[in-house]
């Protein structure tokens, strides 16, 4: 069961970002490039885990489409045809790039490294 649920989702094409207002009042703005680099599909996840260099052309960072997957996720379709990533609500909240969420992730990583 998802912990986080969006209130409003919109694509801001002029600023090249996905904007989500969450039920708990949090606001997230995800640059397209950021979302593409953190694609949760199996192939992209494996590349990140194995630290494989990935060369993506600018077209790979263009969002060509978006589809809701059930009531739990979004499927983003990228300009290079890549459409395998299912970005569930909890994952999107987990990777929120706002300063507050980034600081929380860094603090959690620091405390994990210290133990």
Per residue in 91-113, pLDDT tens? 999 999 999 999 999 999 888 77
Residue 11 confidence class, pLDDT cut points 50, 70, 90: very high
Domain boundaries, given as residue ranges, for the chain: 6-114
Per-residue pLDDT at 111? 80
For the segment(s) 6-114, the CATH number from 3.40.50.2000, 1.10.760.10, 3.40.50.720, 3.30.2020.30 is 3.30.2020.30
Higher pLDDT, 28 or 2: 28
Residue 2 confidence class, pLDDT cut points 50, 70, 90: confident
- pTM of the predicted model as reported, rounded to 2 decimal places: 0.89
At 70, list the tokens.
Answer: 């059930």
Per residue in 45-72, pLDDT tens? 999 999 887 777 788 899 999 999 999 9
């Amino acid at each position: 069961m998802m912990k986080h649920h969006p209130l409003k989702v919109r694509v801001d094409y002029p600023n090249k970002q996905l904007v989500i207002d969450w039920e708990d009042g949090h606001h997230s703005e995800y640059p397209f490039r950021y979302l593409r680099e953190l694609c949760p599909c199996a192939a992209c996840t494996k590349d990140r885990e194995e630290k494989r260099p990935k060369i993506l052309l600018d077209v790979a960072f263009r969002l060509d489409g978006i589809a809701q997957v059930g009531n739990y996720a979004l499927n983003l379709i990228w300009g290079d045809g890549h459409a395998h990533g299912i970005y569930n609500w909890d994952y999107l909240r987990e990777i929120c790039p706002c300063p507050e969420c980034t600081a929380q992730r860094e603090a959690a990583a620091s405390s994990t490294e210290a133990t």
